[in-house]
Structure formats: C-alpha cells, structure tokens
Structure 1
C-alpha cells in the first residue's frame, strides 16, 4: 500500500500528529484488531494512528530495507522473534524503553529494542468436510496423499511461510530439502502472505492451509461453526512470537515509545484473542473465550534461535527454492 501525501509525519498545521505504523494487511481491516487498537490509543494519545498494511511480516523487513532512513514509518508491528538480528542489522530501530516484566511468553523473551504483543503456534488447518483423516504428524503431512492439496505461504515474504521453513528444518535438519521435495507434490500454491492462502482455504479451493492453532477459534466465535480444525502434530508446533519496534528516524519518538508501552496494557492485550486471533503476550486479565479451550494445545514448542536463523536463512531458502523447482 503506497503512502499518500496525507501520510506525512505531520498533518496540516494545527492538526494532531500522525503516528504511522507499518503492519501486515490482516491487522488492518474491520475484522482485524487495527480499528479497535486505533480507537483505544487515540483516546489517550492526542494523535492520529495510521496503519499501512503490507503483505506480511517479512514484507515489512523488505520494505524497510528498501526505504532505509527515508521511511515514513514510526513503528513496525508484525515482526517475528527469529528476525530480530536482521531487523537490528538495518540500524533503523531505537531502544524501546519498555518494561517487559508483564510478558508471559512460553520460554520467555528479553530484548531492549523489540516488544512482543502476541504469540501463536503454527498449524495446518483443515476442512473437516473434505479431510476425514487429518495428519497427526509433520511426517504424515509430508508423505500424505498428493491428490489432497495444501496451500502454504512464501518464506521470502511471509512470517508463517518463514516459520514453516524453520519448522521443517527443526524437525528434519539436513534432510529438510529432501522432505520439501516430497511435500511439493501436495502443494497447490505458494502465496505471498497469509491472507491469500487462508482466503483460498475458506473459499474451498484447497482443503488444508498453513495457519495457526488459534485460527479455528475465529470460525467458532464469529461463524458458530467447528467445521475448521487444526491438526495436532506429534513432533511439535513451531512457536511464533510477534513483535513491534520503533524507528530511529521517527519524528514522534516519544509517541512511538508510548505506543509500544501501550501494547502491553490490558486495553491492547484484550483485543488480541478475538481481534488478531492469537494468544496475548501478557497474562490475560480475564479468562480467554471458551472456544480457546477447544484448540490444539502444543506440548512441544519448536524454535530455532534467531542468530542461527540470521546466519542460515538465505541458505535454507535456497534449499526450499531448489526442492520446489522455483
């Protein structure tokens, strides 16, 4: 989404300051958390909060690398923990100055620049009307019926796509490229971001899609159906922690810092479960909706440390490209 002239750091003389937040496109629509976050923050900041929706978290990194110090973003929201070293390497981010003690992230999280706002576990969501015997392991998915297609996201532009690349590497190690080659027979399409893949799934064009363990909660709560479920994998599920950071070049540094701190308040965190359909980064002040109790509860969180990802991402992406013949 291109920024218009109206997206300049300051509105016209006498107007409120504009805080521009780069995020992923599913955060911005009416059914996402963006509008409610905007209302809640504007009620206390004396500013205008403006979201710029990009395809996905990796696309935010790519956009910031392209724009460099000319970026009009004050805050980038929707990054993931495994990309922290690469975001820091840009030199574009400033310390958050936010107290992270309220966090309740599995395995913990500590960083002086980036602030988590939610977390999820990657999962393959399936349509129970089409898939009668869902895979119970990653290996069953990889070696399953080639006629039963799946949709995944591109690791070069998408955070769930990158997460799945790391999930495969965490489980298969040096055999990952061979396993990708086997899985490629089942892949109907690789989309730039989550929204496109999930849209194909809900339209019935593909029976299985790479998403999150929390995705079925949306269908239960908003649509009143348990038709869509997440498959539980015996090898474990990859943990994805979503973060935000403030840009060093922001013309509103105090306001940007204030927004990062706001993310850990109940006013923001309560919007996550049924807005972003993820798990809040802090301990919920109130119990989560009952639908969340029916979700897959991973007992084996999988992760690869961020420094290893930074060193190997290009190599592992090349393996993926070779295996899929791209």
Structure 2
C-alpha cells in the first residue's frame, strides 16, 4: 500500500473517530450519555431507566461483562482510561482492591443521608446501592417427605444425616461461593475454618463453578431443576424468586433460606477515574439511591435496597428473609487474606 493511500486511510479514520465523539457529545464538548460498567446480573426496569434519562437529559448506556470479579479485573486494567463513567457491583470482598488500584474518584452523594444506618458511612470512593445475604437454601419438600429436619446452622452440615446433600460454589470462581467461604471464616476463625471444610469434604459436599449450575442444575428445590441435592448456597431472597417466577400461584415457597450463617454482601457504585462524563456519573449514582430506583432493586435484581423506608414487594415480605445478624468481615481483613484463604480452600476441598 502506498504512502498516499495510507495517509488517505488515516484521514478517513480521523473523520470517523471525530464523528463518533461528536455523536456521544452532541457535537460539542458536552456529553449526552453516561456509561455504566457492571456485571451480567445487573437489571433495571425500562420505566426506571427512562425516568433517569428524562430527569438527567442523558442517555444511559449499560456495559455488562461477566461476573463482578471479571468486571473489576477488566476495570483495573484500564484504570485512568476507563470504558465507562460509573462502575457498579463492587462488593465488600473486593472493595479494597478497587480502592488500592486507584480505580475510583472520591464522591459522597447527598442521597447518602437517606440510607439505613448500617450503610451510611462507606469508603469515600464508593456509594452503597444494595445488599444481599448469601445463605443456605433448603428444599422444603425433600426434607418433609423424608421426615428429616433441615439444617439450622453451619455446624449441622457435617452431621451424618446431611451426607451428600450439600452443593456449594467454588470461591475462586463465584461470588456467593466466596461469601460462603468468608461465612465459615467468620464463624470458625482462622485457621479453624479449615477443619470445618475438611468435615464438609468428608461429608460429601459437591463443588461447582458458579451459582447457575449449583442452583438450577444440582439443587433439587429449584423450579424445573433435575438436581438431587436439597441444600445449596444461594441468597436470602431466593425463596421469593421461586414464588415470583412460579408457573402457577404458590401460597408457600418450595424453598427456604436458613438464617443462621448468612453472610452479607453490599454492592457499591463508584465514579471511574478518568470518566468522560464525571458530572453524569455523579447524577447516575444519586439516582441509584433515589426512592424510585431503590424500589426497583428487589424486583429487578432480587437484592435489598439500602435506602430507608423503601417498601418491599409482597413476595419478599412473605417468603424472603432479612437476617437479623448477618456475618461480615472487615474489608481490610478480607483483602489481606482472600487469596491465601482461597488457595488453602482449594488444597483442602478440590485436591
């Protein structure tokens, strides 16, 4: 290819690039959209998305890519030159990685004054948006038909009557799997949790890569599942989801969450350092704490709002639980030990 052709191609590429920038910025330097980088489980109703766009005058673009850990890893690789303006889905177990990686700008939303006290003082780089508790879930019908009481505590799982009944997610590849590992650390301490997992392994625990396989393929209580294991690591809200998505109305959920041993995950949003539209990013985070967005959270993502006084859907009120005293570990402790704990877990359970 001649030098002249190369120059003409370069000029054409410059025109295309300028056109794309102009399209995103309305022909001047004022952005007309805001980009939310998030995980595949993020969802928002069409009406709520339109409400934000109408109130802000911005088009909301949602860029989804894998689970929360994948999104964080990719975001860290582009820190300072991000793919979007806001990142959502960072939780407590990886928060210090995001902050330590210089990924986020500090921002304190004025809407923080509306959230429950438990969530009102986050790290200045992030804003809490929702919380979900990872809990054991049991198949009520399975246990009732065999006249066996379902487990009530983590300690119960190593009893002989629960042999070969439990399926869990791998903490190296799954967010709820990691939360369940952290629940055992919080309960039994370090290194006591290792003895507990040796007991689970001896009692026939099955490990799979992710929640989808554990819940919809291995767990016997999920609608349409071919699974044979009546105990699974899932969420406090999963029984409500079974009712909401049932093919016919149900008076009672076929599954139940076990309150003892639940581990709390808080999901955060943050302004990405180097964001093209920092002002729009702040507006989006404020909107995500608004009553309208927060009321949409349970029905869209099956987690709980952090804003005080937001009513829950009827199915949540009847069939889900909000654990009274969920387990949590300090973010700094998790960050300092997470990789070591996961590696040791792998040696004990998957060897």
The C-alpha deviation readout for 1:188-225, integer Å capped at 9, x for no partner, is: 33224x34433324323243321111121122234233
- Of structures 1 and 2, the larger Rg is shown by 2
Change (3 A) 1:107 1:242: closer
Aligned pairs, number: 312
1:163-312 equivalent positions in 2, closer than 5 A? 163-173=179-189, 174-184=191-201, 185-192=203-210, 194-200=211-217, 201=219, 202=222, 203-205=225-227, 206-223=229-246, 224-225=249-250, 226-233=253-260, 236-286=261-311, 288-289=313-314, 291-312=316-337
Contact 2:114/2:307 (<8 A) preserved: yes
1:24 aligns with: 39
- The equivalent position to 2:129 in structure 1, one of 114, 117, 130, is 117
Change (3 A) 1:302 1:190: same
TM-score by length of 2: 0.80
Contact 2:127/2:269 (<8 A) preserved: yes
Contact 1:84/1:306 (<8 A) preserved: yes
Q: Which of the two has greater helix per residue? A: 2
Structure 2 gaps of 5+ residues are: 1-16
Deviation at 1:135, TM superposition (A): 0.9
2:7 aligns with: none
Instruction: Give me the CA root mean square deviation.
Output: 2.6
The C-alpha deviation readout for 1:153-190, integer Å capped at 9, x for no partner, is: x3334332221121010011121122223223533332
Deviation at 1:148, TM superposition (A): 1.6
- The equivalent position to 2:171 in structure 1, one of 132, 144, 155, is 155
